Copies of this chain bind each other. A is one copy, B any other.
Amino acid sequence: MLTLHPQVVSGYVGNKIAVFVLQSLGCDVAALNTVQFSNHTGYRQWTGTKVSAQEITDLYNGLRQSYLDDFDMMLSGYIPGAEAVVAVGNIAKELKEKTQGTPGKFFWVLDPVMGDNGKIYVAEDVVPAYKSLVPYADLILPNQFEAELLSDVKIVDMETLNQAIQALHDRYRISHVVITSVKLSSPDHPADHLSVVGSSMTSSGKARLFKIVFPAIDCYFCGTGDMFGALTTMRMREAVEKVPGLSQRPNWLSDDNTPVLELPLAKAIEKVLASMHEVLSKTRDGMAAVVEHTRATMTDDDKSDETKAHFVKTKAAELQLVRNLDCLRIPAVEFKAKAI
């Protein structure tokens, strides 16, 4: 398994999450850090450096020359800049090419990190760079806005959401799609709930759609997308391995007669959301203690400074992963997928 993400010294986003999640679920992971920052950008201040496209390529070449490139899966998250996106794409293409004679031997989970809530937060040329890479991926994990960017379908209700997913299958021949945190209101769930909608296409490229509804937690966490990606990668493999022969089929695509709710992707996401909900709930419950602990080290002036209060709040919202290992490994909560 190869994971490419940013890295932070303190706190949890990118590879700091992905590596721990993948290792916790028993996976030996090679981790290529696309940046090293002191902390995530949600603090609104940070130090550190980005890794250049050339350095990413060099690191991968270093792996290949010593037979360290025998990856069965690759997970990529935020990548700094279009050139670096291309460099990461080239790694995936090479790995795919290498296993051409053995279908299913390599599977790329791509989180096309470009923006959220209607705003692009990467350089403009990153969007076309991702568009040209999606056909090489096996599973993509856009949020609602990124799905709009990739599909050119404006998502305003469940119908347009389904159209967007079908457009992704059609345009990119991408086998598996999950749209994370869909924020559409729907008559089938309460207003304070969110949903995830996914699809594994049929052999003729038709979407097979499922939806999982889960309660929202009213707090702004960073890194949830990275946790979602890492958990999905592991749970997808696990679910695929339970179906005889499926892991040797191109793109791990299930038989056309597989019921939607039996799709490995649907099974995987059920488990992923259970872990997510448990970790986020425990993080929220632990926030007050972190605030108190941090404020104990501050002067009275600092305590009443609003900017500084933001740092403290952001620190308190860092995902509490390490102490909640069992939530990752054996989540107890249950969310069930529904066919659409």
Give chain A's interface residues, CB within 8 Å of chain B.
7, 9-11, 16, 19-20, 23, 26-33, 36-39, 43, 45-49, 51, 55, 58-63, 65-68, 70, 293-294, 297-298, 308, 311-312, 314-315, 320, 322-323
- Given A9-B31, A20-B23, A27-B322, answer yes or no on A39-B66 (Cβ-Cβ < 8 Å): yes
**Majority DSSP secondary structure for residues of A touching B:** mixed
Q: Tell me whether B62 and A297 are in contact (CB under 8 A).
A: no
Q: Tell me whether B297 and A10 are in contact (CB under 8 A).
A: no
**Interface-centre pick from A28, A297, A315 (highest chain B CB count, 10 A):** A28
A43 contacts across to B, CB distance below 8 A: 66
Q: Tell me whether B38 and A68 are in contact (CB under 8 A).
A: yes
A19 contacts across to B, CB distance below 8 A: 19
Across the two chains, which residue of chain B brings its CB closest to A11? B68
Additional A-B contacts beyond A10-B68, A67-B298, A67-B308 (16; CB < 8 A) = A9-B68, A11-B30, A19-B19, A20-B23, A23-B322, A28-B322, A38-B62, A38-B63, A39-B63, A45-B66, A46-B62, A47-B59, A48-B59, A67-B294, A68-B315, A70-B293
User: How distant is the Cα of A58 from the Cα of B48 in the complex, in angstroms?
Assistant: 7
**Interface-centre pick from A9, A36, A308 (highest chain B CB count, 10 A):** A9
24 A-B pairs with C-beta separation under 8 A: A7-B31, A9-B30, A9-B59, A9-B62, A9-B68, A10-B30, A10-B68, A11-B68, A26-B322, A28-B320, A28-B322, A36-B51, A37-B62, A38-B62, A38-B68, A39-B63, A47-B61, A47-B62, A48-B55, A48-B59, A49-B55, A67-B294, A67-B297, A68-B315
- A49 nearest CB across to chain B (Å): 6
